[in-house]
Amino acid sequence: MEIEDKITIIEGPPPTFEAVSDGWVLGLTEGPTLSEIALTRVRTFNGPALVERCHRAWRHQQPIYLEFRAQDGLPQQAPIVAARHLQTDDGDMLLLWVRLTSEDVELELTYTDDELDDDDFDMDDDDDFDDDDFEDFLDDDDDDDFIDFDDLSGPRSLS
């Protein structure tokens, strides 16, 4: 019996890999080379069969790979270290955790904050910030922390 050693993405854009920081993933990163575990989501027609293909390979202590085309169109392979099938409204979804080496990883940082509005950064022409606005932010108690350079009539000691 021959075990298929890869799952191939045949059509569509290159997969998007998401960094994973779940605790259980730390045990999967051990190995002779530095690597990162990343998650990718793939739509499929036969999710349970593909998960079973992974389980068969692992049962026989064989690696199984995700084969895909990179952004430059060249074929790439990444070892699959975990797999899960989900049934969604759009059809079968295969969640694959793959090992990416440091050369394969391109980091994209994003930041989202639900509390910030785009309106927080909108400034009309009337909203020019000047020195008078800065003084509004200072409390009278904070004045002791600043030296008034306009009032330097003589020697002064700082305590």
Residue 48 has pLDDT above 80, yes or no: yes
| Mean pLDDT, rounded, of the chain | 76
How many whole angstroms separate alpha carbon 63 and alpha carbon 69?
19
Q: What is the DSSP secondary-structure string of 42-74?
A: EEES-HHHHHHHHHHHHHTT---EEEEE-TTS-
Under 8 Å between Cβ of 17 and 80? no
- What confidence tier does 158 reach under pLDDT thresholds 50, 70, 90? very low
Under 8 Å between Cβ of 61 and 38? no
Taking the alpha carbons of 109, 73, 43, 40 in that order, is the dihedral positive or negative?
negative
How many whole angstroms separate alpha carbon 98 and alpha carbon 39?
6
> Residue 157 has what pLDDT?
46
pLDDT in tens, 20-34: 877 777 777 666 666
How far, CA to CA in Å, does 141 sit from each of 60, 129, 135, 136, 137? Answer: 73, 23, 12, 13, 12
